[in-house]
Amino acid sequence: MKIDCRNLGCPEPVIRSKNALQNLKDGELLEVLLNSFSSISNVTRFAQNQGFNVSENKLDSGDTILKIYKEGDNSKNSSDTLSPNKNIEDNNFSNKTIFVKDDRMGEGDFGRKLMKGFFKALSEYNKIPKNIIFVNRGILLTTQDDNLDLVESLKILESKGTKIYSCGLCFENFKIDTKSLKIGVIGNAFDNVNMMMNTDVVSI
């Protein structure tokens, strides 16, 4: 089976791939045609989380074909396989997702200072969130050089098991190169919905 997901906005490539994979039989192959880094990353991660094997082929046109192989019994529950940190002891975590919509708390430089202080304190706390999602101007915290001290706090959290996601569509909106991402992975709306429906959400 082959599907064309080029030029589709988030989370459409993941949703179409999910639907196609549900219709595959054991031993069959799904080929997904894509042309954006964020879509390639998101579809690859989704398929691998479901237990599939994924290979990536670059075409002369600049497009990419992901070949997704279904082997054995991959009929996992999607809410389980997408729930981060499933294999890590729950007592290390609070069942929370931190949803970050801006690069500061409040106004101006003081607002930026408050945001950095929050994540510094969070990295030292005895329980950590399962997930942190950065959207809108929040992705400036995970991509810009003037936020490297905050990134260090995020690295501590990530080393303890927190999953960190930055909105792929937001990279396109702010015209930020995805290669500038300094921590975590590029996320998508499908992942966000799953995490927000399965954890308590703290929005900042």
With cut-offs at 50, 70 and 90, classify the pLDDT of residue 90: low
The answer to whether residues 71 and 112 belong to one domain is: no
Domain end call among 75, 104, 135: 75
Q: How far does the chain reach from its first CA to its final CA, in angstroms?
A: 42
Domain end call among 24, 42, 75: 75
CA distances, 37 to each of 6, 33, 62, 187 (Å):
11, 12, 11, 11
pLDDT digits (tens, 9 = 90+) for 41-61: 889 988 988 889 999 999 999
With cut-offs at 50, 70 and 90, classify the pLDDT of residue 76: very low
Instruction: Look up residue 54 and give its two tokens.
Output: 């994924």
Cβ-based neighbour number of residue 168 at 10 Å: 26
pTM of the predicted model, to two decimals? 0.75
Which residue is it, tokens 């003081």?
110
The answer to whether residues 66 and 123 belong to one domain is: no
The answer to whether residues 69 and 114 belong to one domain is: no
The answer to whether residues 42 and 123 belong to one domain is: no
The boundaries of the domain holding residue 181 are 90-203
The answer to whether residues 190 and 110 belong to one domain is: yes
The answer to whether residues 70 and 105 belong to one domain is: no
The answer to whether residues 43 and 98 belong to one domain is: no
SS3 56: strand
* 81 domain residue, yes or no: no
The answer to whether residues 109 and 192 belong to one domain is: yes
According to the 3-state scheme, what is the secondary structure of 69-81?
A: ECCCCCCCCHHHH
The answer to whether residues 176 and 94 belong to one domain is: yes
- Domain of residue 166, CATH code: 3.40.1260.10
Our count of domains for the chain comes to: 2
Measured between alpha carbons, how far is 106 from 113 in angstroms, rounded to an integer? 10
The answer to whether residues 25 and 124 belong to one domain is: no
Helix (H) or strand (E) holding 87: none
Cβ atoms of 67 and 78 closer than 8 Å: no
The answer to whether residues 110 and 194 belong to one domain is: yes
Stretch 17-45: mean pLDDT: 89
* 83 domain residue, yes or no: no
The answer to whether residues 57 and 113 belong to one domain is: no
- Domain of residue 37, CATH code: 3.30.110.40
With cut-offs at 50, 70 and 90, classify the pLDDT of residue 20: very high
**Among 40-54, 58-72, 88-102, 169-183, whose mean pLDDT is lowest?**
88-102
